[in-house]
């Protein structure tokens, strides 16, 4: 990068905006704003207009990053490590502190309309898919390339394979930090 005669603040902005996590953070921030206006849109015309404007910005940013998602899908603490190829059905529900590593799909199975309900502290590694009207317990790890089509109610399980099966259990409590 060329810094030339730029001041410290301009250098900071240049470095920050070139970092891929910056755009993931901006996407999550825009998702939260859109979600807020979505929940308030029936009360007031101004909130409805703000929802439409923020929704357009949210969808535009999602297209640039390769993310398709609804407004009210994720609870707080979402972390996006790689943004390309993430598709989340608007009817799915994902708990707190979910980590997505890219190329993920969370949605219906194409046969039924039901969508997954995913618990808190779930990690979905690269290429992990969660499909159908299923429930995933808290602190589950879905391994790279796994396709989960059945519910898993065992807390702390590690799921892998196609279709995904339990291959072990998390024992290290710092794994999700």
Same domain for 91 and 47: no
Which pLDDT score is estimated for 83?
84
Which pLDDT score is estimated for 3?
45
Which pLDDT score is estimated for 59?
94
Same domain for 100 and 18: no
Which pLDDT score is estimated for 43?
77
The sheet with strand 147-148 has its strands ordered as 67-68, 86-88, 105-107, 129-131, 147-148
Domain end point (choices 12, 46, 65): 65
Q: Which residues of 90-111 are buried (b: 16+ CB within 10 A; e: fewer)?
A: ebbbbbebbbbbbbbbbbbbee
Domain end point (choices 65, 86, 114): 65
CA distance 25 to 78: 10
For 120-135, the pLDDT digits (tens) are 999 999 999 999 999 9
Same domain for 120 and 162: yes
Number of domains in the chain: 2
CATH number at residue 104: 2.160.10.10
- Counting as low any pLDDT under 70, the low residues of the chain are 1-7, 9-11, 13-14, 173-177
Same domain for 52 and 38: yes
Same domain for 79 and 15: no
Which pLDDT score is estimated for 18?
74
Range of 17's domain? 1-65
Same domain for 82 and 56: no
Same domain for 111 and 89: yes
């Amino acid at each position: 990068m060329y810094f030339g005669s730029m001041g410290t603040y301009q250098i900071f902005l240049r470095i920050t905006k070139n970092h891929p996590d910056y755009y993931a953070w901006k996407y999550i921030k825009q998702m939260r704003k859109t979600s807020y206006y979505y929940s308030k849109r029936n009360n007031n015309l101004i909130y409805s207009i703000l929802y439409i404007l923020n929704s357009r910005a949210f969808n535009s940013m999602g297209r640039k990053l390769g993310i398709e998602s609804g407004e009210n899908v994720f609870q707080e603490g979402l972390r996006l490590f790689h943004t390309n190829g993430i598709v989340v059905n608007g009817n799915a529900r994902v708990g707190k502190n979910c980590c997505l590593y890219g190329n993920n799909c969370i949605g219906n199975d194409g046969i039924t309309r039901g969508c997954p309900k995913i618990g808190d502290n779930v990690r979905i590694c690269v290429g992990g898919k969660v499909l159908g009207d299923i429930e995933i317990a808290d602190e589950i790890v879905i391994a790279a390339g796994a396709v989960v089509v059945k519910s898993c109610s065992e807390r702390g399980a590690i799921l892998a394979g196609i279709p995904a099966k339990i291959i072990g259990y998390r024992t290290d409590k710092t794994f999700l930090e």
